Amino acid sequence: MKKIILYTTILSSLLFLSSCNEEELNLESPNALTTDQFWGNPDDAEKGVNSIYAMFYKDGLWARWMYFRMDLTSDEGFSKSPWTELADWTRFNYVNYNFWEGNSVTYRDTYKAIFRCNQVLANVPGITFTDETRKESILAEAKFLRALHYFYAAELWENIPIVLEPSTPSDLPAQKTKEEVFAQVETDLNEAFAALPASWNAMNTGRPTKGAAKAMLAKLYMQQRKWNDAKAALEYLIVGEGATYSLVSNFKDNFTDINENNSESVFEIQFGDQRLGGTDEAANAAVSTTRAQFFAPRSIGWSDGQARHWLVDLFKEEPNQAGGLDERLRHTLFYPELEADFGDLIYGRHWEWDADEAWFRKGQRDYYRNNEDYYDQVNYRLIRYADILLMYAEALNELGQTADAYQYVNIVRARASMAPLAAAHPEIGTNQDLFLARLKKERVLELCGESVRWLDLKRWGDLETQAGVDAIAQRDPDFNGFVVGKTIRLPLPQSEVQNNPNVQQNPGY
């Protein structure tokens, strides 16, 4: 298998952003091109758009800290890190709003990525191309990626500035509501969909397709509970022109580097281990993820993040059709009984943990090595077709089409050799509430540890009432620190509030 990595070659002088401090912005390099000098030809445009993808490899985003925000803050994960402040940021104990690893670096890198998108969108239209289709697809890629970063920013902080032009140090962008940010995301995704191709050749694997744009639109509509819009977007992927996806036969193939960019992948972040530098702008900057290092079991990695044991119990509630354990458990979690249940040695060795401990296995490299490091090359499947099918079932159920929703859950269950849902749980019938309650479990069984659970909890309204939070706290005591109406969103970095009079701190902080 050949993995395509989208490198960045754009000069650092083009990478300014409004959230940097003024001293950093005033630094000048005599060897660097200016913006006016750089954006001159199609090759510059290619470098510019590739620099956006390079942001996936930065600490604040999908190289490291996004997983702490999306997985560990949810009821699937938690942290027992000896770094107390880091662990506090997974249990809603926010004291220093400028805490770099917990908040500020993700905010900075988000807007840095958006800045790179804005540079492409501002400068590429003025470049003459012989291939106008490629010009339009470059602009569409930038819009898709800007939408992706704004989507996650809106789910994390909610009330944030919208910046749509290359920023300067003196800019003071106005703060917008989550709804306004989502409206911009929708606009960007619809415009991206119109110009993106249905597929790319092998040398461009990893760039978004029309299917990826529709999938992000579906996620956006699902979070807003716009069920008809979500249904329409999902139908493009399931029964429409974009119905080119299918589940791979081997569940494990979604979490190793062996069968990447397969038929189940809707949008996949491309990682590699061929560059062993840092996460800065140096020529040898890493293009890998450190998730495995930070989430690996004790004595393997840093062990700053681990899974809640209730996940193991959920997998064991229902046997497969052969009377055995759900095979997905084997590839989803490390836990004390893993060897007894499946015969698997963890990283080729025996380990002893407390009876109530578990660790995320997806994306770990125990299938071929005995330790972890900062250079995990396993691609991150940000959107899988299994997620599309389960979202479609949820949308149908919300629209009162529960009987039709069963078949899409069954496609996912069948790969795991689980009985059809109606046979296994006849008590559900066409009761929408019972179907949703079961679907919540089905999403955990299929998607645990894949950065969707926090979005799910928000979409379902489980974080909007004290009763809902109390129920979550029964399986994740960290939620005893959750404050309804406040910690459903992160505090904005206090430095952003102090530096911009147009930005107010989030409610309750």
pLDDT digits (tens, 9 = 90+) for 209-223: 999 999 999 999 999
pLDDT digits (tens, 9 = 90+) for 446-471: 999 999 999 999 999 999 999 999 99
pLDDT digits (tens, 9 = 90+) for 318-345: 999 999 999 999 999 999 999 999 999 9
Q: Residues of 208-224 as b/e, b for ≥16 C-beta within 10 angstroms?
A: bbbbbbbbbbbbbbbbb
| Residue closest to 177 by CA, chosen among 160, 157, 155, 195 | 160
What whole-number distance in Å separates Cα of residue 5 and Cα of residue 205? 8
Residue 21 has a pLDDT of 44
Average pLDDT of the chain to the nearest whole number: 94
Rounded-to-5 percentages of helix, strand, coil across the chain:
45, 5, 45
The encoded tokens of residue 387 equal 């997620």
pTM: 0.94
Residue 206 neighbours by CB under 8 Å, 6+ apart: 4, 5, 6, 53, 261, 268, 269, 270
Domains, in order of start, for the chain:
12-208+476-509 (1.25.40.390), 209-266+385-449 (1.25.40.390)
pLDDT digits (tens, 9 = 90+) for 492-503: 999 999 999 999
Q: What angle do CA 137, 142, 146 make, to 5 degrees?
A: 145
Q: What percent of the chain has pLDDT over 70?
A: 94
In 313-429 the beta strands, taken as DSSP E runs, fall at 333-334, 357-360, 380-384
pLDDT digits (tens, 9 = 90+) for 134-160: 999 999 999 999 999 999 999 999 999
Residue 2 has pLDDT above 80, yes or no: no
pLDDT digits (tens, 9 = 90+) for 30-50: 566 777 789 999 999 999 999
H-only helix segments in 224-326: 227-238, 291-295, 310-315
Residue 360 has a pLDDT of 98
Residue 36 has a pLDDT of 75
Rg of the chain on CA atoms, in Å: 22
Other C-beta atoms closer than 10 Å to the C-beta of 330 total: 18
Whether 321 and 418 have beta carbons less than 8 Å apart is answered as yes
Quick one: angle between helices 132-156 and 178-195, nearest 10? 160
- In a 3-state reduction of DSSP, which class is residue 391? helix
What whole-number distance in Å separates Cα of residue 198 and Cα of residue 263? 14
Q: What percent of the chain has pLDDT over 90?
A: 91
pLDDT digits (tens, 9 = 90+) for 176-221: 999 999 999 999 999 999 999 999 999 999 999 999 999 999 999 9
Mean per-residue pLDDT for 128-133? 97
Residue 84 has pLDDT above 70, yes or no: yes
pLDDT digits (tens, 9 = 90+) for 234-273: 999 999 999 999 999 999 999 999 999 999 999 999 999 9
pLDDT digits (tens, 9 = 90+) for 374-426: 999 999 999 999 999 999 999 999 999 999 999 999 999 999 999 999 999 99
The encoded tokens of residue 116 equal 């790179």
Residue 366 has a pLDDT of 96
Q: Residue 11 — pLDDT band, cuts 50, 70, 90?
A: very low
Mean per-residue pLDDT for 66-88? 97
Q: Pairing mode, if any, of strands 357-360 and 306-308?
A: antiparallel
